[in-house]
Amino acid sequence: MRYQPRFLLCFFAALASLFADDGAAVPVLPLQTEFIYEAVVSIDAPVDVGVTPQGHRRYIPITGGTFAGPRIRGVILPGGADWQTERPDGVTEADALYSIRCDDGTVVIVHNRGLIANSGAYMRTAPRFEAPEGTHAWLNKSEFVGSISGGPKPGTVVIRVFRVL
């Protein structure tokens, strides 16, 4: 069945009117967060991959660490990495994939993506968690934001994670 162009135009115009702004003000709710944990992550020296079509690539091996917060604590497992792409505008896209082991033995996958700008003065991320059913399944059901800063000693960084309420 072929639809005539006029019919399609009228159909989509009617559909769009259903979602049109009726002039009513939509209340803007301020974002609130809940502190989840602070991690001190051990890292190795960056490995330079070189310039690719996407930008200058490198990765930083994640070798361990610890994390602790009011509801969750444990260790950062070795074997992960933060894959970074430095864009032509000087901003670095971070894309870290690693695992944490909670004190109860539960292993949770962390995929932490974000931006590093202004020579590292701005480092914000949006971590996603993949937890098995059970005690830590709540990590699968929320959005999170994070910040990264230099660690207490060379070869470490501090990651603070907050749940968006």
Q: For residue 11, what pLDDT band results from cuts at 50, 70 and 90?
A: low
Inform me whether the pLDDT recorded for 149 exceeds 90: yes
Residue 28 confidence (pLDDT): 85
pLDDT score recorded for residue 121? 82
8-17, 26-35, 63-72, 97-106: range with lowest mean pLDDT? 8-17
CATH number for the region 31-164 comes to 2.40.160.20
73-88 exposure pattern, b = at least 16 Cβ within 10 A, e = fewer: bbebbeebbbbbbbee
Residue-wise over 120-151: b if at least 16 C-beta within 10 A, else e? eeebebebebebeeeebeebeeeebbbebeeb
Give pLDDT, residue 86: 96
Instruction: Tell me: pLDDT of 9 over 80.
Output: no
Contact (Cβ atoms closer than 8 angstroms) between residue 89 and residue 119? no
Q: What is the pLDDT of residues 36-83, one digit of tens each?
A: 999 999 999 999 999 999 999 999 999 999 999 999 999 999 999 999
Q: What is the mean pLDDT of the chain?
A: 91
pLDDT at 70: 98
| pLDDT, tens digit, 9 for 90 and up, residues 98-122 | 999 999 999 999 999 999 997 878 8
